[in-house]
Amino acid sequence: MTTPASQNETSEVDTTDDKAANATEATTTAVDGSATPAEGSGRSTRELRRSPLGTDSLLWKWGSDNRIQLLRGYTGILQNMHPAIGKSLLDHSKFFDEPFSRLERSTPQIIQSIYDDGELGKRIRDYHTTIKGTLNNGERYHSLDPDTYWWAHATFVYRVIYAQDLFGEPFTHEERDQLVREGVTWWEKYGLSNRPVIDNYDDLVAYIDRMTETVLERNQTVDFALRTVRDEPVKAPDGVSPFVWKLIWKPIMRSAVWLTVATLPQNARDILEVPWSARDEKRFNRLRALLRKVFRHLPDSKRYMEPGRSLMIKNGMISGTYQEPKTIRPYEGHSQD
């Protein structure tokens, strides 16, 4: 996978709840995105490898690592560079009016779905049933297209690995394969078709590279996230007074954009036409070294984000005070017209 120079040290779908059928039978895709067995189909030519999720799994251990927070921008930009995802936000989302609210609403749900029994995953899937429209080239898009949904999921899986590459202790190749196979199990919680699914690390890296080179684009959504927010104020995050936000928004947003660009692969930077200098690279390397050093000394209460932290406590993985995950309010990020 093409990566920034600093990394040389080391984010829909066919719907079915039948995992066995997903893994072993050929399918055709219906107009609404649901998967149906192809007529006369036999066994699939491949069998997906998957690893279980639970207290011994890597995804349960590392999926709530707070260093992943530093890759929110990376994940969001790669996802929104996909023509269908970028256009869906433009057509349906409140992202441009309330970018922080969208993150505050969606991130905990994604994290919780790793530990959930699958019901939350299906609820997240169902949020997307009405998200559809027309791309700039005239083609139709639908959020339930399997390739579109898998792209978003793949970036979520990859960032668990990437966070440790950048800011922690890199995983072994065997562990990377295991995380990707656990990502297959995570994916199946959505009750979706396995047609686009990848089950090993090398193929996942090749897939992300291929998508970047052949599908991803610079568009209005990513321009807003990388350019507009540097110079035009957006609504304050929940809990921050408008007065305080007026004083601090510019350095915060410019730092966030800089960190996002720092974590992007160079081929994505080229598409987005964002500058990155040798001086930037040195600054980023110093930041990475500092974060590695500091994180080693943090207590568990600071190492993991909620609700993952509390779910790890509940399952006996770490010590601490359990907090019941907040009830997730109905999704309001897209219009239902």
pLDDT digits (tens, 9 = 90+) for 159-168: 999 999 999 9
d(CA 181, CA 49): 6
d(CA 113, CA 84): 23
Q: Taking Cα atoms as reference points, which of 32, 34, 39 lies closest to residue 192?
A: 34
The Cβ of residue 123 has, within 10 Å, a number of other Cβ atoms equal to 16
In the predicted model, is pLDDT for residue 303 greater than 80?
yes
H/E segment holding residue 133: strand 132-134
What's the pLDDT tens digit per position in 20-34?
Answer: 334 333 333 333 343
In the predicted model, is pLDDT for residue 239 greater than 90?
no
In the predicted model, is pLDDT for residue 153 greater than 90?
yes
Mean pLDDT, residues 217-230 taken together: 93
Q: Determine the residue type at 332.
A: E
User: What is this structure's pTM?
Assistant: 0.84
* pLDDT for position 8: 37
125 burial type by CB count under 10 A (0-12 exposed, 13-18 middle, 19+ buried): buried
Confidence bin at 176 (pLDDT 50/70/90): very high
